[in-house]
Structure 1
C-alpha cells in the first residue's frame, strides 16, 4: 500500500501517533527538570537557543519511529549499501557536529530528499530515477547535509520562538509527513485551517536555501565531486515542475526553487575549476535496479532494457545489461537472467552487485549450495559486507538452517541496529532454530524501533522468565528490560 492509498482513518491514526511522540519532546512534563529527565529544557540555561543538540537527537529518533510506522521503505541491501557509501564519501567534507547518520530510503518514484534534526537523511527511490548522473544525485545529498550542518531547522524554530508547543510539534510532524506522502494531506489534517501557514513554515527560507546551495557545493568539491551537478539537478526539477502543472513535486514544496536560484547556482558552480569526474559504476547499477522496480511491470522493464541494448549509442552498457538481467529475474526468466549475469561477471568477477544478484537467481532455482559457495567466497574477500551477508541469511532460511541464518543476522543487527526489518528476520530465523529466547529478544528490539515499548517490555519479560537465575544471558535481558521499563515510566509520568 502506498501512502496515498491510506484511508482518512488510517491517516488520523498515524497523525495521532506522530503528534503523541513529538509532543513528548515539547510538553512541559517531558521537559520538566527532574533527575530522570534526559532532555534539557527549551531555552534553558546553556541550551544555546530554542532547541539544543540533545533535543535534536531526540526528535530524530522519534521522527524515524514515525517514518518506520508510516512509510513504505526500500530494504534492498544493495540500494542501502550504495546510498551509505556515497553519503559517507560526502560526510568528511560536511561541517557536521556528528558524523553518525541514520538513513531512510522511501519507496516512492517521486523526487524527494529530506534531512531532519538528529542527523536523519532520507531519499525517495525516485531520486535515483531522475538524477541521470551520480554528480546530480550527490548534489541533493550534499544540499541536505548542508541544511543539517547549518542547523537550519533549529534556526527556523528560533524565529518562531513565540509559537505554542503544539505549533512546533505540528511543524515537525508536517516535515515527517511531507517526506513520506505525495500531498499535504498530513499537514492539513494536523493544522486544519492553519494548513497553509504550517506549509509556509515548513519551507526553508530563501536565505537558508542559498546557504545550503553554497555549503553543498563546497562539500561536493571537497569530496572530489563536480559542483556542476547541483544546477543540473535543479534544471531537472524545474522541468518536472513544469510538466506536473499544479502538482508541485514533493522536494520543491519544502525547498522553494526559482529560475534566479538556478542561475545563481550555475554561476557559483562555474567558479570551481572544471574537471572530469567519472560516475561510479555502482550508481548506475543501482539506478537500473530501481528502474525495474518502478516499471509498470517486469515485462515493460524487459522491453525497455532490451531496446537500450539494441541501440548503438547506449551509454553505460554494463548497467543496461544488468538492468535487463534484473528484469529477467523479476519476470521469472531465471536461466536467461543467470546467463546475462555470468556474462557480466566474466568482465568484472569481483563486483558484489553481480554476485549478490546471481545468488538471488540461484536461490529462485533452488540451487542453494551453489549460491552458498558463491556468497561464502565473496564474503571471504569482503568481510562484513552487508548485501553478501544478507543474501547468505536468505540462503540459510530457504534451506531451513535457522541457526546459521540467525548467526548471519546477528552480525547484521550488531552493525545496523536501526534497521527494523533485520530484527524481524532474526526473529524468524531464531524461531526456525527453536531458540524462543532469541525470538523474544529480536521481537523486543523491533518493537522498540517501532515505538511500542509496552510490547517490547512484554517480550523481554517472557525472555527473562525462560532463562535460569544466574545465567549471563538473563543478566543481559534484565538490563535491557530495565532500560525499556525506565523509558515507559518516563512516558507515563
Structure 2
C-alpha cells in the first residue's frame, strides 16, 4: 500500500439524521408558461416520503450558511463524480426517496459529513488521503448510515431524557456553591457535567457501530469491496499515532478503537459482494484534480505525490496535461487529453477536461465544438453542459440563456449555474429573469437579504416591461425567500 500523506483532520464527520415519516423535498417545481421557458426552482414539494419538510428546510438553510462561510471546491467535474458516487450508495442505505445535495469543500483536511435534509459534504483532502474509490465510498456510506438510522433525531430525544435531570443537578450544584458550600458545589456541578458527557459518548459509540453496519452493507451491495472500510480505519489509526497519539476532534466523535475495527473486520469476513466493481481510472483522475486544488500554489507537488504513490500512469498523464494547460501549453494538454479520450471512450470527464482546457485557454470556438460533440454522444453530462453555456456567453448569449435555463432546471441547487444564467439573461435582454437568477444564486450562498433586494429589482423591471410571468415568479419566490431567511436565523 502506498504511503499516505499526513493530512490535518478537522472537527467533523458531523453526522446527523433524518425523520422518515412525513413528506419532504422532491423534484423542484417550476412555472412552465413563460415564453422563455426560464424556470427557477422552489425548494420543497410533497413528492418524497423520506424527509420531513422541516428537516429539509433546516438542512438546506444550514447548507446556505455553510456556503457563506466556508470556501467551496468549485469543480463541476469533481462535483458530478461525487454526486454519482453518493447516488450509487443511497439506494442501499435505507434512505428511499431522499434528494441529496452534495457540497465539496476546498480544504486539505480529511473530512466528510452529512446533515439533515440529505446534505453530504466532502473535503478535497479525503481524496488525497484515500487509496481508492472504495475507501472514499466507505466514508460516504458510513455518513449515509448516520442519516438512515436517524441519529440526529434520536440524539435529540436522548437529550430531552437526560438534560432535565442533568440540569437539575447542575442547578443544585450552583445553589450549593452560591450558598457557601464551595468545593462541594463545584464538585457536584462537575460530576453532573461528566455524567452527561459520558452518557452522550456512550450513545455516540452506539451510533458509530450502527452507521458502520449500515454503511458496510450499502457499500457491499453497491459493489465495493468491504475490506476498504477496515483499511480506512487502520489508516486513520496510523494518522492519529503520527499526530502524537492525541485524537483529532473528529475521532472523539468517531472513535477508532481496536474493538470497533475487530467488529467491522468480523462483519467484512461474513459479507459477500455479488458483483464487485472493477477499479477504474476515474477515481485517480478526480484525485489528481483534488491534489491540484490542495496544492494550488505549487501545482508540481500534485504530480510528485501521484508519482510517489505509484498512481496509474494514465492518471499521471492526465495530471501532466492539466499542468501543461496551467503553464500555457494548451496544444500539448489537448493532445494528451484527446489521446486519453480515445483510449477510454466511456470516461466522460476526459473530453470534459479538454473542453475546460480549451475554454480557459481562450479557444472558445474549439470549446463549443468539443462540448457539442461530447453532448451528442453523452447527453445530459452536466459539467460539459455548464461549460457549453459558459462558452456560448461569448458567442451567442441567447442560446447560452436557453442552455443554462435547462441546466438550472436540472440543477436547482447549484449556485454556479445560476451565476452563469444571470449573466446570460442580462446579455440576451432578459433583464428581469437575470435579476431573478442572481437572486437564486445569492440565496443559495447564504446572502438572503441581498437576494430579496434582487427580487425587488426584478419586480420593478417586470412591471416596467409588462412581463407578467416574471412578476408572478418574483412574488412567489419572495414568499419562499422570507421563509428561508426565518429558517436561516436558527444558524
Provide the rounded CA distance (Å) in 2 between the counterparts of 1:234 and 1:456.
Answer: 43
- For the 8 Å contact 2:328–2:361, the answer to whether it is kept is no
Measure, in 1, the Cα distance between the counterparts of 2:340 and 2:161: 60
**Change in 2 beyond 3 A, CA 1:403/1:204:** farther
Greater relative contact order structure (CA < 8 Å, 6+ sep): 2
Choose the corresponding residue for 1:363, options 359, 366, 369: 359
Q: Deviations over 1:120-145 (max 9, x none)?
A: 11111111111111111101111111
What is the 5 A alignment of 1:324-403? 324-397=320-393, 399-403=394-398
Q: Aligned in 2, Cα 1:488/1:240: closer, same or farther, shift over 3 Å?
A: closer
Give 1:207 shift: 0.9
Structure 2 CA distance for aligned equivalents of residues 85 and 369 of structure 1: 29
Question: Is residue 108 of structure 2 the alignment partner of residue 109 of structure 1?
Answer: yes
Describe how 1:307-326 pairs up with structure 2 within 5 A.
307=307, 314=310, 316-326=312-322
CA, structure 1 residues 331+487, in 2 after alignment: closer, same or farther (shift >3 Å)?
Answer: closer
Partners of 2:337 and 2:485 in 1: CA distance: 50
1:254 is displaced (CA, Å) by 2.6
Deviation of the 1:257 alpha carbon: 1.3
Provide the C-alpha distance between the structure 2 equivalents of 1:488 and 1:63, rounded to a whole number of angstroms: 11
**For the residues of structure 1 that align with 2:453 and 2:360, how far apart are their CA atoms?**
37
Give the aligned CA root-mean-square deviation in angstroms. 3.2
Quote the residue 2:475 is aligned against: 478
Report the secondary structure of 1:205's partner residue: helix
Equivalent residue for 2:282? 282
Looking at structure 2, the residues matched to 489 and 209 of structure 1 have their Cα atoms a distance apart, in angstroms, of 33
Task: Give, in angstroms, the shift of residue 200 of structure 1.
Answer: 9.3
1:97-156 superposed Cα distances (whole Å, 9 cap, x missing partner): 532111111111111111112211111111111111111110111111110000011111
Find the aligned partners of 1:415 and 1:198 in 2 and give their Cα distance.
44
In 2, Cα distance between the equivalents of 1:131 and 1:462?
Answer: 47
**1:221 and 2:216 matched:** no
- Report the CA distance shift for 1:411/1:195 in structure 2 as closer, same or farther (over 3 A): farther
Contact 1:90–1:223 (Cα < 8 Å) also in 2: yes
**Partner residue of 1:170?**
none
From the superposition, tell whether residues 462 and 203 of structure 1 become closer, same or farther in structure 2 (CA, over 3 Å).
Answer: farther
Structure 2 residue 446 is the aligned partner of structure 1 residue 447: no
Inter-partner Cα distance in structure 2 for 1:201 and 1:56: 22
Counterpart mapping for 1:416-431 below 5 A: 416-431=411-426
So what's the TM-score if we normalise by structure 2?
0.75
Larger Rg: 2
Q: CA-to-partner distance for each residue in 1:10-52, whole Å, 9 max, x for gaps? A: xxxxxxxxxxxxxxxxxxxxxxxxxxxxx9xxxxxxxxxxxx9
* Number of aligned residue pairs: 410
Q: Once the two structures are superposed, what CA deviation does each residue of 1:190-217 show, in whole Å capped at 9, x if it has no partner?
A: xxxx999889959961111111111111
1:79-478 aligned within 5 A:
79-161=78-160, 205-245=204-244, 248-249=247-248, 251-273=250-272, 277-295=277-295, 297-304=298-305, 307=307, 314=310, 316-397=312-393, 399-467=394-462, 468-469=465-466, 471-478=468-475
Match of 1:19 in 2: none
Q: Which runs of 5+ in 2 are unaligned?
A: 1-7, 9-43, 45-50, 167-192
TM-score (ref. length: structure 1): 0.75
Distance 1:404 1:63 in 2: 34
1:298–1:327 Cα contact (<8 Å) kept: yes
| 8 Å Cα contact 2:223/2:273 also seen in 1 | no
- Contact 2:67–2:446 (8 Å) recurs in 1: no
- Give the direction of change, closer, same or farther, for the CA distance of 1:476–1:140 in structure 2 (3 Å limit): same
Deviations 1:375-403 (A, max 9, x none): 10111122221111111123223x35433
Could you say if the C-alpha distance between residues 72 and 299 of structure 1 is closer, same or farther in structure 2, counting changes exceeding 3 Å? same
The answer as to whether partners of 1:406 and 1:430 remain within 8 angstroms in 2 is: yes
